[in-house]
Amino acid sequence: MMGHTHALSGATAWLLLAPGLAALPAATGSAADLTPVVANMLSPAELIAGTLVCAGAAMLPDLDHPHATIAQTFGPATWVLAKAFNWASGGHRHATHSLLFAVVAGLGSHMLAGRYPVGRDIVVILMIGLALRAIGIGIPGRTITSALVNIGLTAGTFLMLHSREVQYLWLGLAIAIGCLAHVVGDCLTERGCPVLWPLKHRWVLPYRIGIKTGRAFEVKILGPVLSVVVIGLFAARLMPASL
């Protein structure tokens, strides 16, 4: 599945799930631990931040591919990171394309969000950068220029969210949901994913009906539909109820 489609699926997942998650503590009465995590999730600035982070996290599993365009997001910094991911996960579409990776990435980010602000900010900046790169920010063939444009736009977005005092207490949730959206997306393709890694079995759709990456269905139907869904959900969530 293309990066663009993954990022849109992450944004869609967050916009669909955030209201349900925000209502969870009140609905169950027993999820007291979730209250601070979801408290401000639906304020306009936090919703935008959550959608960007989840879209970026939906790209994270493909950082196991050093030649993919997202590895160029921040130039050599993300290329080295992608090399490390590729080495540690055993190649493309291995460990990072699993339930276990989503859980570990989510828990790790949750810990950073609560205790280590610098680590949290690095994760948030990386996710914003991946999301912007995935939706097409960058100039084909101009690696360094693209990296500089991406760094500038990411910094601007991060500072804008910072000025709105976004707390990122939901960071772990957004990262886990984004990674899961990626795994689901790749399971719909013809190559599938090792969902239960370290078990090697790949989950694919039956009868070879899996999507062929980058072909007409993904480019002409799935991508545009997801774009409309994301814009529609944003409008629905951010529009004042009185309108």
Contact set with Zn ion (CB under 5 A): 62, 186
- Give whichever of 84 and 160 is closer to Zn ion, judged by the CB atom: 84
Residue type, 186: D
Phi-psi region of 192 (alpha: psi -120 to 50; beta: other; left: phi over 0): left
Residues 203, 207, 213, 216, CA torsion sign = negative
Q: Shortest distance, CB of residue 155 to Zn ion, whole angstroms?
A: 27
- Give whichever of 46 and 186 is closer to Zn ion, judged by the CB atom: 186
- Give whichever of 50 and 185 is closer to Zn ion, judged by the CB atom: 185
Q: Shortest distance, CB of residue 200 to Zn ion, whole angstroms?
A: 16
Q: Shortest distance, CB of residue 13 to Zn ion, whole angstroms?
A: 15
- Give whichever of 46 and 62 is closer to Zn ion, judged by the CB atom: 62
Q: Shortest distance, CB of residue 58 to Zn ion, whole angstroms?
A: 9
d(CA 177, CA 183): 10
* Contact of 121 with 210, CB cutoff 8 Å: no
178 sits in which H/E element: helix 171-187
d(CA 113, CA 111): 5
Q: Shortest distance, CB of residue 210 to Zn ion, whole angstroms?
A: 13
- Give whichever of 62 and 218 is closer to Zn ion, judged by the CB atom: 62
242 exposure class (CB count in 10 Å sphere: 0-12, 13-18, 19+): exposed
d(CA 186, CA 16): 20
